[in-house]
Every structure is written in structure tokens, then in C-alpha cells.
Amino acid sequence: MYEIAILYILNKYDATIYRVSKLIDEFFFAYLKSSLGTVNPCLKKLEKAGCVTSHDKMSDGGMLSKIYSITQEGKNHLRDLLLSFKSQNPYHVLNEVKIALYCSDVLSINETIEFKENLLNILELHKIKLEKGLNNEYISINKLQKQTVAFTLEETEKLIKIL
């Protein structure tokens, strides 16, 4: 998800690694917490893949900073990541879908239709899994556990309605 977030940020701003990290925290405050230890390797990977370029710039304070920019290949890669979105971890489905939705303003109208259909499929499968778990008579879960799963189910259903 950091790759999507970084490309999304760089699609809006050219930025240093520090600024990319801070902008992730600002834009994705409800979904992601960044660190330089996460952002730096991801930026290096994206730069190696040709999705991002960098150049050195002297700051007003006399410090040399590396400024990162998205390339056209990076913009295409961001769209491809969104259009082929799959949740990496079944336990993070809702959060990952929210991040992808948050970044979907980079898609064209036709791409958005395809993107939303994909997310609906992901959420419908997640909903089925939650319902099966709640109705499974062979597993014993207490009231708090049932309420927690039911809350996740409600949140999933709300996202489905949004789409």
C-alpha cells in the first residue's frame, strides 16, 4: 500500500523523502503511518523501476536534498496498481480498499467503473467470509468476538453501498 501512497503523493507534489513521509501521514492519516524506514526502500524500488526520478537540490539552509518526482511510467504504474488491486492481507481488506478508494481520483471515468467493480468483488467475498465465520456452528466465539466481527461486517456493507 505504501507504493500506491507514495506514487499518489508524487503525482501531486515533487518532494524530499522526509516530505513524502509527512504527506503520507497528512493525506492517509486514517489509514497509514509512515516512517523513513518504510518510505526510503519503497522510493528506491520505484526509482529503480523507472516510476520515480530524483535530483539533488540545495535548500535555503544550505543542505543538499534529494527531490523525487513521478514519471509518466510511474503515473501509469499507479493506475495499473489501482486497476489490478488485490488485497494483500485478508485481515487488512477494509483499510486497503479505503486507501485504494482514496487514490482513485487519478483514474479516468472508464477506469473508475472497472476499479469499483473490482473493489465490489473484493468486498463481497470479504462479506461472505465474515458471514460464514459468524454462522459457523463449529467455532465457539464469545459475545465480544461476535460483536467485533459483526461491526466489521457492517463496515464492509457500508463500503459496498458507497460503491
Domain ranges of the chain: 1-84, 87-163
- Per-residue confidence (pLDDT) for residue 101, from 0 to 100: 94
Does residue 73 come out as left (phi exceeding 0), alpha (psi in the -120 to 50 range) or beta?
alpha
Q: What is the rounded distance in angstroms from the CA atom of residue 72 to the CA atom of residue 95?
A: 27
Instruction: Say what the pLDDT of residue 58 is.
Output: 81
36-51: pLDDT as tens digits: 899 999 999 999 999 9
Q: Report whether pLDDT(113) > 90.
A: yes
Mean pLDDT of 133-156: 92
Mean pLDDT (whole number) for 106-127: 96
CA angle, corner 56, sides to 51 and 61, nearest 5? 135
Structure confidence at residue 117 as a pLDDT band (50, 70, 90)? very high
What does the alpha-carbon distance between residue 60 and residue 147 come to, in Å, rounded to a whole number? 54
Region 67-83: what's the mean pLDDT?
97
Q: What is the pLDDT of residue 59?
A: 75
Q: What pLDDT does residue 9 have?
A: 97
Nearest of 113, 112, 123, 133 to residue 157 by alpha carbon: 123
Predicted confidence band at 62 (pLDDT cuts at 50, 70, 90)? confident
Least confident piece of the model among 35-39, 73-77, 86-90:
86-90
Domain 1-84 in CATH 3.40.50.720? The answer is no
Cα(108)–Cα(76) distance, rounded to whole angstroms? 12
Nearest-5° angle of CA 42, CA 119, CA 160?
130
Report the distance separating Cα 111 and Cα 80, nearest Å: 10
Instruction: Tell me the C-alpha distance between 103 and 97, whole Å.
Output: 10
